[in-house]
Every structure is written in C-alpha cells, then in structure tokens.
Amino acid sequence: MWVITSQTGVVKSLCYNRAMRVAMLGPFGLKPKGTMAARALPLAGALTGRGHTVTLILPPWSYPEDSGKGWEQNGVRIENVAINPRARIPVRMLSAARAFHPDAVYIFKPKAYSGLVQWLVWQLRDLSSFKPRILLDEDDWEGAGGWNDLAPADGSRPYTWSQKRFFAWQESWGLRHADAVTVASRALETIVLSHGVPRERVLYVPNGVNPLPPSKASRSEIRAELGIKSAPLILLYTRFFEFDLNRLVAMLTRVLAEARDAKLLLVGRGLFGEEERFLEMARAQGWRERVADAGWVESARLRGYFAAADVAIFPFDDTLVNRCKCSVKLVDLLANGAPVVAEAVGQVHEYIRDGETGILVPPTDVDTFARRVIELLGDQEKRARLGSCAASAMTREYQWEKLAGPLENWLYKSKAAARVDG
C-alpha cells in the first residue's frame, strides 16, 4: 500500500509503480553493424528517460573486442555476452535476460541468435515461471525477396541455401509468436499484417534522429581538404546496394555534362566493393577526375561533409528491400539540413514532403532525376529553404522520445493484462 505525504511523493510513487524492465536482444553487437546502435540503443534511451530500466544483451561476434564486456551508455546497461563457443551464445543471452527479471523481452531482428532466444523464451513461458511479454522488432524484411537474397554471411559471400531457409522460417515463426511487433516502415506494417498479426499488436516506430557530433572542420576546410574550391558539389552518401549502378551513372553523366563545373563527393563503401566498379564506370564516362572519393567517414566528421555539399542525391530502386527499409542515412541527411533529391520509394515518402523538405522523383526516371538535380544546383535560395525545412521537420517529428510513446503505451497495457491473467 502506498503512503503519500506530498504532491511530489504522489508523482514519484506513480512513476515507480508504472516503471518496467525491458531486455533488448539483438543478433549482433553495437558495431560495426548499425541496427542496435542506430535503432535499439536510442529507443532504449528514450524508455530510460521515461523512467524504465532497459538493458541491451548482445552477441558481438562481428566485433569480438567487446566479447564479455559490459558498460552503461546514456542510462542503458550494455551487456556483451561471451562469443566462444558460438553454439552457447543463445543460452548465454537467455541466461542474462532471465537474470535481469524483465517485464518484456524485446527481440531485434527475428533471425540468427536473437531469433533463437525468442524461440527459447516462448518455450519457457509454458514450462517455467519466466513469463515476460515478447516484443519483436522488424526494421528490414529478412526473408525471400529481402536480405536473404542480398546480405553477405561473412562480408564476402551470400547466404547459403540452408541459411536462407532457416532465416525465413525464423522470421515467419517470430511474427506468429510475439505479443506485439514494432515495424520501422509502412511497407513492413503491411507485410506483418498480411501474416495474420492483429492490427492492435503492430506498432509503427520509424527510425528517429540520432544527433551527429558537431563537425570540427568548416565547409571551406572540408572543401580545401578535398581539393574543391567553389565548384557546385553533389553528395552521394551510400552503401551502394540500394540502386543499380548503371542507372546512377547514366543520371550523373547527364548532370555533369550540363553542370560542367560540378563535382561529386562520394562518402561510403559498398557491401561487395561496388565503389571500385562505380569509379571505373565514371572513368569510362570521362568524369572520374570530378569525383572526390572520401571512402568511409567516421560519424564525428559526417556533418562537415554534409555541409560541404550543395545537393545530396538519394537513388533508391523500387525493390522489396528498399520499400521496407527505413534509411538511417536519409534521416542523417535530412536532419542535418542537406537539400536532398530522392527517388520516391517506400519510407522515403514518409520522410520527404515534395517541394517542402526535399525533392521526390519517380523511381527509375533518369531524365527527371537529372533535371531536378541540375535545377537545384542552380537555385541557392531553394536549397537553403529545403535544407532548413527538412532539419526542422525531422527535429519536430522524429525524436526518439516521441516515437517511443506507442511502445510505452503498449507496455503499460501489456503489464496490466499480465496482472489480470496472473
């Protein structure tokens, strides 16, 4: 029974009574892959800021230096389980989750190690006193037509046939054995609903803004470093898998033929070394010397590169993978005031209001894409307006504290229902 002695005491008591413990589990660590660092961690921070206790339980097989290490980051506990032997990783993750005594186990990506933990938790709910609610997060489509047909298993090879079958089964099973599913895009929302998940259990939680560190270098300093003075500069910030290289090169060839002083700034690397092929294609078209290849750029310098450019391009093929994606790179560009010309596919529609916070062009329309880029290069006032409106809109609409609201409401209702069931 609560004893309330003051108005302050009422607030504290109610917050304590409603606070929950959430264990977030991922298929890999915080780096070098992005999902857990760019999605799970900021969402955990938003919940922690609302008074809940959250821990991330991760298998850092892709960054073994973190194996067995733990620390606190932005109020969130990070636990990296030991990764050797790998066969015991799911058991270690489950053990860490049980020791945390969570109200909810939140699985990020229904595949590999985190998908195995979801399966184990589901079995234990029937066989033991460990009965947390199970949340599942989908930020990509993993099965047929999705990452199964795209992603490398070890950085150099596609998934094997058996891996594809297993990951597709995990995703299908995971959707049907979760108390709720959070989705990062409207396309994923539609797919999850088509798998028979009740609408009230599907929560739309797109990716929010993760503030980049201030750049220590100014626009002019970055341009001097790149050997670019006052030339119009187009930014391509990419991992390359999102589009067809031939179409991109055709579009850029038209732009650079008309905007004869313009140059291209390339920031990023491909999954399979696509940047090398791109540069060879640029050489064949006669404009390789107009490309400044910055390669992979650490987050502490990204804002400087964004500021150095005049226009950012976001080519995006109309594929199932892209329709389901909620691109962190696009969020970064818009939140930092880059004027963007993007192909209108999937979640791009949600982030960009055409003519207000960016420019949308039909997918695969090379002529229109090139024309819009050329027009924007020649209109400094419009570039400034689009960039300012984009940054304001992203700050206003896509803060993690706001995006966490539907998730928190579901957790409250779920906890209340569990008490009734108990």
pLDDT digits (tens, 9 = 90+) for 146-157: 888 876 644 556
- Pair (232, 372) in one structural domain: yes
Same structural domain, 144 and 65: yes
Q: Is residue 249 included in any domain, yes or no?
A: yes
Residue 104 forms part of a structural domain = yes
Beta carbons within 8 Å of 298's beta carbon, 6+ residues apart: none
Shared domain check, 112 and 237: no
Read off the pLDDT of residues 213-244 as tens digits, 9 standing for 90 and up.
998 888 999 999 898 988 999 999 999 989 99
Tell me, what's the pLDDT at 17?
A: 54
- Asked whether the beta carbons of 205 and 240 are under 8 A apart, the reply is no
pLDDT score of 413: 86
Q: Where are the alpha helices (DSSP H) in 85-147?
A: 89-100, 112-127
- pLDDT for 144 equals 83
Number of compact structural domains in the chain: 2
Mean pLDDT within 244-259: 97
Does 305 score more than 80 pLDDT? Answer: yes
Residue 39 lies in a domain: yes
pLDDT for 15: 43
Q: How far apart are CA 218 and CA 383, in angstroms?
A: 18
Q: Report the alpha-carbon distance of residue 251 to residue 334 in Å, rounded.
A: 22
Residues 29 and 136 in one domain: yes
For tokens 């709910």, name the residue. Answer: 125
CATH at 81? 3.40.50.2000
Residue 247 belongs to what domain range?
219-397
Residues in Cβ contact with 75 at an 8 Å cutoff, skipping those fewer than 6 apart? 45, 48, 49
Q: Using pLDDT thresholds of 50, 70 and 90, give the confidence band for residue 11.
A: very low
Q: Is residue 360 part of a domain?
A: yes
Both 20 and 160 in one domain: the answer is yes
pLDDT at 4: 35
Structural domain includes residue 214 = no
* Per-residue pLDDT tens digits for 170-219: 999 999 999 999 999 999 999 999 999 999 999 999 999 999 999 888 89
CA distance 305 to 213: 12
